Amino acid sequence: MSILDRIVAAARERVERDKKAGLRARSGQPREPFLFEQALRRPGMSFICEVKKASPSRGVIAEDFPYPDIAREYEEAGAAAVSVLTEPDYFMGHDRYLAEIRAVVNIPLLRKDFIIDRFQIEQSSALGADAILLVCAILTPGQLAEYIEAADDLGLSCLAEAHDEEELKTALNAGARIIGVNNRSLKTFEVDTANSIRLRRHVADNVIFVSESGIRTAEDVELLRQNGVDAVLVGETLMRAHDKKAALDMLRGGAA
């Protein structure tokens, strides 16, 4: 069984537990719909900065993990949005991270998890997310279209994640307005940012295009910008930085 299969199996068990526990109501005033895509459509390169403690490929990234403070740092540094890992078994995330970060920042939040049930879409809204990740590799075309429609009904944006041209076509056919190309191979976990550049030409300009994984330098960001990428999702580079504002300023240096 691949690591992705194991993650999905764990997600199914977690969803069943969460269904029994029920939904927790969102606190505070309802937020404006589709704030995530509004933020990414602003001029210039947008930065989605990730709050992530660990990953299957890199192990523990942040021993010290004051996640609300990290999110606030990102907001103060000018991030367009914050991505919050909530998957607990392989990324050491938790739903409460999202809810607690929602309470301290105003910029849009992406819930980064493995959505395999409509229940999780309602749950994401209840936790305070403005957007959800939909991984094409674990969903059928029918599920992808259904989940995008369900998210639309709740005012949630969807980042449809593709790894190759086939998944990209599936996402576009399902009506995805935001495409995220993951530069990390699901099979080898090797990273190649050229994957985003290869796939960008298959996506219309009115669809927001996000490059994910392996973005480490201002030169990486500038090359992606020159090739029509609208936003980058940056995790490990920022999580390992002691001064996250300085690290984001460094990455932004090539994207002016």
Q: What are 92-151's pLDDT values in tens digits?
A: 999 999 999 999 999 999 999 999 999 999 999 999 999 999 999 999 999 999 999 999
Catalytic residue, candidates 37, 46, 52, 83 = 52
pLDDT in tens, 60-90: 999 999 999 999 999 999 999 999 999 999 9
Residue 29 has what pLDDT? 61
Q: For residues 27 and 168, give the distance between their C-alpha atoms in angstroms, rounded to a whole number.
A: 35
Annotation marks residue 20 as catalytic: no
Helical H segments across the chain, by residue range: 3-21, 35-40, 67-77, 88-91, 95-102, 118-127, 141-153, 165-173, 194-200, 218-226, 236-239, 244-252
Annotation marks residue 222 as catalytic: no
The pair of structure tokens assigned to 228 is 């029509």
Is residue 101 a contact partner of residue 82, using CB atoms and an 8 Å limit? yes
Give the model's confidence band at 169: pLDDT under 50 very low, under 70 low, under 90 confident, else very high: very high
Average pLDDT, the chain: 94
Residue 256 has what pLDDT? 44
What integer is the mean pLDDT of 149-176? 97
Residue owning tokens 């495409």:
179
- Contacts of 143 by beta carbon, 8 Å cutoff, 6+ apart: none
Annotation marks residue 187 as catalytic: no
Residue 73 has what pLDDT? 97
Is residue 24 a contact partner of residue 127, using CB atoms and an 8 Å limit? yes
pLDDT in tens, 197-238: 999 999 999 999 999 999 999 999 999 999 999 999 999 999
Q: For residues 44 and 230, give the distance between their C-alpha atoms in angstroms, rounded to a whole number.
A: 7
pLDDT in tens, 83-106: 999 999 999 999 999 999 999 999
Annotation marks residue 212 as catalytic: yes
78: left (phi over 0), alpha (psi -120 to 50) or beta: left
Catalytic residue, candidates 182, 195, 196, 211 = 182
Residue type (1 letter), 168: L
Full set of structural domains in the chain with CATH: 3-20+31-252 (3.20.20.70)
Catalytic residue, candidates 196, 213, 236, 244 = 213
Residue 1 has what pLDDT? 79
Residue 101 has what pLDDT? 98
Q: Exposed/middle/buried for 29, CB within 10 Å: 0-12, 13-18, 19+?
A: exposed
Q: For residues 156 and 188, give the distance between their C-alpha atoms in angstroms, rounded to a whole number.
A: 32
Catalytic residue, candidates 37, 73, 167, 212 = 212
Exposure letters 188-221 (e unless 16+ CB within 10 A, then b): eeebebebbbebbeebeeeebbbbbbbbbebebb
Residue 248 CA to its chain's centroid (Å): 17
DSSP letters spanning 110-158:
EEES---SHHHHHHHHHHT-SEEEEEGGGS-HHHHHHHHHHHHHTT-EE
